[in-house]
Every structure is written in C-alpha cells, then in structure tokens.
Amino acid sequence: MKKGFLKIVAGLMAGMLLLGGCDALPKGSDGPREVPTTITADFTKGENKGGNWVTYGDCKVTLKDGKAVVTERSASNTGVAVPCPDYRGNTVVTSAQATTENGSLTLSMRYEIFGNVTYVNIAAGIPNESGVVDITGKIEIPANAENALIYLEANDVRDYTVSSFEVSIDGEFNDLTNVPVESLEDPTKTASLSAAYADYFKFGVASPATVMTNTNDGFKKLILTQFNSVTPENELKPENVLDAKTTLADPAKYNECPAVHFDAAKPILDFCKENGISMRGHTLVWHSQTPSWFFYENYDVNGQLASRDLMLTRMENYIDTVINWCETNYPGVIYAWDVCNECIDDGGGIRQSYWTQTIGEDFVEKAFEFARKHAPANVELFYNDYNEYQTSKQDDIINLLKPIAAAGNIDGMGMQSHINSGLNVDNYVAAAKRYADELGVVIHITELDVQAPKSVNPMYDQGVYMKKLFSAIIEADKAGVPIECVTVWGLTDDMSWKSATKPLLFYGNLSPKPAYEGVMCAVNGGDVQKPADYVEPVSDTTPFVEDYEDQKFTGGPRYSSVQKIVEGGYESDYCLQNSEGYAEYDGYSIDVSQYAGHVIHVSFAIKSKADVCKCTADIDGTWPNIAEVQTGTDEWVLGEGDFEVEEGATLTIYFESSDMSPFFLDNVEIKAMN
Ligand code: XIL
C-alpha cells in the first residue's frame, strides 16, 4: 500500500538486472526456455544466490533457520519480495506465512508499465494470538507489465519474519516471455473529456510522478489532451512528504515540527504549473500511508505515544508547512486539499488509529481548524472518504462534519467513488445532493473507478454503465448539486491500483475504452457502440456447486479475509475455512451476477465458534440477509434461503460469522428457482 522510494526501487531494479530478471528462471540463449510455474523463496540461500527473493526497499534482511528476518524497516512498504517478471499476462496465486508484531501484513504487487510504476494490494492478514499471519491471494498481472514482483508490506515499520513465500501460475501458463510489449497509441487523437465537460465541472485524473519523469511522453500527452485537474496518486501523502532521514537524525530539534520535503511531488507540481493545470492536494491527515514514528515521543516507535498536546502541535505545524510550502513555491496550483481522509470506520463511528490514540476523536475537527487558519482563502478544504454513497456511512460522515461545517472550516465533500457497475446511479447522486444540502459544501468526485462487471461483454457493459452514471451526474449538476470536479483514479487500466478489475477510461496502450465512450455519450448524446465481437448474453442458470472435494474454490475474499481448503468437511474430507478478516463481514464472497433476473435458492453447511453465521447479499450499500443460522457449538449446521437477483444486477453474496471467529463452509449450492 505504501510507496515513494524511487531511489530504492532504482537500486532494486539494478539488482534485478544483475540477476537477469529472476534467478529462478534459467536463461538459455537458444530455444524456448523452461519457465517454472511456481517460484518459491528459499531463505537458506542469500539474496541473488538462487533463492528467488530480493530485499524490497530500505530494510535489513537476515537469514536464520530457513527464514528471512526483516529488521530496520524504514517504511511500512519495505520487506521481502519475490520477483516474477516472466509471469506477465497470467493470473498468479501468491501465499506467504510470517510472524510479526505489526497489526497486519499485506501481499502487494509492483510492476512497471511503459515506464510508469503501479502498486496493487493483493490480500492482507492479521496475526493470530501467536503472531502468525497466513496470507493467500490471487492477482492478474497485465500483459504489458514488466519486472513484476510481489512483496510483503505491513501497516507499520516493526520487524517481521517470513517462513514461506511463494508465487505460482493459476491455471494454464500464458508464456509471454518472448512476446514484446504492445506499442502505445497516439493519445492526442482522442477528443477531450475536459473540453466536453467544460460547462459542468473539471475533469481530473490521478497520476504518479513517473508520468512526468517518464521518457515515454504519451502519458503526459494523454493528461494534456484529456484532463484539467491532476491529483498526485501518492506523492503528497505524509509518507512521501515527511522527511524521515532528517527528522529521525535529530528528533529533539524536530520534535514539534517534523522536517518535510517535496522531492516526490515536485515533478507533478512543475508539470501542473508549466501547463496551467489545477491540482488537488491529497492528503494531509490520514491513518494510512503515514509512518507510525510520526506519532511517538521522540519519534521512537519503541517508546511512548506522543501526548495530545504534542500531536496537536505536530499536526498544526505539518498542515501549515505543507500547505504553505506548496503555495509559496507553486502559487495558485493547488486549488483544493483533502484535509482528512477516510476517518469513518467500516463498522461505523470514528476509525480508531494513531490519530485517535494520541489526539482523540476530535482530531478531524482540529485538522480542519488548523487548515482553515493556515490555508490561503481561495484554497478549498475537503473531507474525503470511500463507500460514501452507502446510507449508514453518509449518516456517519454528516454527523462528523456538521460541527466543522458550522464552524465554517470545510468547503467540500470528496466522494472517492471506488464503485462497481452494480451501484444504483440515482442513489449515488442522491448522496452527493445530501452532502451538499446538509453540510452546505461543494462536491468533488475524487477517485472514480468502476470495476468492470463479470459479464460476457465486460468492456461494453461498463461503457453502458458509465453513460448512465455520467448522465445522472450531469442531471444532478444541472439541478443545482454543486459538483465541481470529477477525478478518475488513474490514467489507464494497467496503471490502476485495481488493475485486475479494469476500472478506468483508457486501455493500457492509451486508446479509449467503451467506458470513455460512455462518458462522452452522456454529454454529447449517442450510444456506446457494440463491439464487433459482442456476445449476445444468455442467462446462465447452471447451478453453482462447491463441495471442496477437489480442493478448489472459485469465490474469493471479501475485503481482507483468507480462505483455505482444510480437512474435515461436512460428511466429507474437505471444506473451506474462512479466517483472519478485519471485520465480521470480511467473509467468503461469490459472484452470482449470472442469475440476474432469477430467484436463487442458496443452501450450505457451516460450522463456527461464533454464535451466528450468515449468508448475505451485497447490493448498493445494503446487505439483505439470505440465511442466518445459529452456530457456536462448533458442529455443522445447515442453512438455506432464497433471494431475488434483480434484472441487470451485478451481485455478490457472502458468508460471514458474527464475531470474526473462523468459519468452515461446505456443500454450497446456488440454483435458479424460476
Ligand atoms: C492508493 C494508490 O492508488 C496506490 O498506489 C497506493 O498503493 C495506495 O493508495 N483511497 C485513497 C487513495 O484516498 O489515496 C488510495 O490510493 C486509494 C484509496
């Protein structure tokens, strides 16, 4: 999740060049070479010595008893990585086991795409009572991705010890080792979104700084042709702005005012200044991508957390310094700042974090107070959050922001909008209207990406949805909802933090997708063209059956849970175990969109120490219950229920336990009733 060490990455790449890409893979000079379909880290062998692992970022890796002990981690994204450059164009399964005192570990992927760098989170896990974390996840690596590697990061900078780490091909190996990457299309030929939407709102994009430093200038041209607002994807986040080296070298000197630097953000700031593009500053106060040392007395993570007073002082100084450095050096470039990001917990109420632990729950109010005090009058101050269209989250956000709005310290609500095409567009714009009406603020859609549906025509269907979505946004804007900017979270699908879901407007080669066409049709009229290879959808009512006897499952984690096939099924050998989520609803999720237009009957066997287990549908921010069973005895219990899947719906259902205890699932059957 965390990044921002280009120098380290350069070092890593040099290391990989020495390795010749990946030392697991023998390079023959002639003939096809054998590419193993599994890469297993061997921690008895040193780095670059055939062990299939590398050090990722600024940290120390020591090998002991066949394990990798990772210490001196300068940032939460540092650790051990397994390079898998030959796996591009494949879906891989990756798993790791580690022990740690960090709150959670995450498997993430890094790859280069036409000279840009993309980071994708794959799966996360939290340690059990003995500190052991098991994480397994699946991810698609784009065909044009070069130097892909999978690394283990944490939510904090504490040590971890990896006992196993593996990456393997899922299914048939698609061998692209001798296939060159595609060439880029000329982006200047595509009509401009920002020009088409000039009467309504700014059309923005999130970009990494690699776009500006890239020798491949197609990406810059795409921005210049299409967009008139830019958000740095990571470069203005605290982990990239806080100057760890300087601050930690003299903690006493910097105790109240940490040193900052803008090395990561400068190329984007320069680009915006030179080209007259406005920038959204993202983000000042956040629980994530903020180093934990920032919250400790003397910046020492092994000591005590800083007092409320000290943290208030640090927060005020940080906000003041960052806003004013940007204003002084790039006057007028940043027109809006996300002052606070993601402060509402997934389960409701204020999210607990280092901010609440040090300052308390009024840290949001304080952050806005400081931002108002120090920001130039024409810079708009925003709160930004995800799932912001869900009714319960709207309530929480409005409660949080009401007093801040009453004090005159906030100007805008940032609706992140990481959505899928199952979201009802009327409910979505109703949320925008509600924020504007109840808080008296303007609206920015700040991080739009729309997961492509799992249909037979995913790109076309996504395009049709984009037309619906943007038509609703335009209508709302015309009706007076003050939507001032819509930003998409990335330039191309392959550059997206969720690349596997193909959520953006341009393909990896810079050509426009049907999603782009849909956005254009919303403003210009017309319909998204059916592609030449359009497939007439037939409703597929084949029953879904999983009994795990083949030791396979087709569903996946909902948020951060982990699934594993284990022994001891319901009257059989195997079942599926779900564990290690962050919240009760981090369960096992199954896509049932193919049953759209039918009533489904779901039956299953489940076992858990939790009192209750449920099967629930996930639709538009509501979670209707399909079946609920009393568990708790750790005996198998049978459950069943019916649910109507609406025509055209994109729907997943999921299994969950009431208190995050692991649950075991077997004999899942879903069939259409009509
Ligand atoms: C994401 C970036 O896109 C990734 O590169 C990074 O690894 C993690 O953060 N909400 C936010 C954004 O406010 O800052 C996040 O961006 C996506 C979720």
- For the chain, which residues score pLDDT lower than 70? 1-33, 580-582, 620-621, 648
Q: How far apart are CA 79 and CA 152, in angstroms?
A: 6
Residue whose CA lies nearest to ligand 1 atom number 6: 1
Mutation test of ligand 1: which of 489, 492, 493 has the most ligand atoms closer than 8 Å to its C-beta? 489
Count the residues in the chain. Answer: 674
Element (H, E) at 273: helix 266-275
Ligand 1: residues whose CB is within 6 Å?
1, 3, 119, 233-234, 341, 416, 447, 497
* pLDDT for the residue 474: 98
CA of 284 to the centre of ligand 1 (A): 14
Whether 400 contacts 350, CB under 8 Å = yes
Which tokens go with 394? 């709207």
**CA 439 – ligand 1 centroid, Å:** 26
DSSP 362-390: THHHHHHHHHHHHS-TTSEEEEEESSTTS
Ligand 1 atom having least distance to the Cα of 282? 14
pLDDT digits (tens, 9 = 90+) for 533-589: 999 887 778 999 999 999 999 888 887 778 889 999 999 999 999 986 667 788 999
Question: What pLDDT, on a 0 to 100 scale, did the predictor assign at position 28?
Answer: 42
Q: What is the DSSP letter of 672?
A: E
Which domains are present in the chain? 16-169 (2.60.120.260), 202-524 (3.20.20.80), 544-672 (2.60.120.260)
Decide if 166 contacts 152 (C-beta within 8 A).
no
Cα 153 to middle of ligand 1, angstroms = 15
DSSP letters along 26-54, please?
A: ---SSSPPP--SEEE--TTS-TTTTSS-E
- One-letter amino acid identity for 71? T
Q: Position 148: which residue type?
A: A
What does the pLDDT read at residue 30? 52
Mutate to test the pocket of ligand 1, among 119, 155, 211, 487 (most ligand atoms within 8 A of CB): 119
Chain CA centroid to CA 139, Å? 13
User: pLDDT digit string (tens) for 253-281?
Assistant: 999 999 999 999 999 999 999 999 999 99
Residue 365 exposure: Cα atoms within 13 Å on the Cβ side:
13
**248-276 burial, b for 16+ CB within 10 Å, e for fewer?**
beeeeebbeebbbebebbebbbebbeeee
In the prediction, which pLDDT does 581 show? 66
430: enclosing H helix or E strand = helix 425-439
* CA separation for the pair 484, 443 (Å, rounded): 6
Tokens of 168: 């393997």
DSSP letter, residue 187: G
- Does residue 18 contact residue 47 with C-beta atoms inside 8 Å? no
CA angle 569, 660, 420 (to 5 degrees): 95
In a 3-state reduction of DSSP, which class is residue 406? helix
Residues acting as catalytic residues: 342, 447
Quick one: pLDDT at residue 31?
55
Atom of ligand 1 nearest to the CA of 342: 13
Beta bridge partners of 579: 562
Q: What is the pTM of this model?
A: 0.86
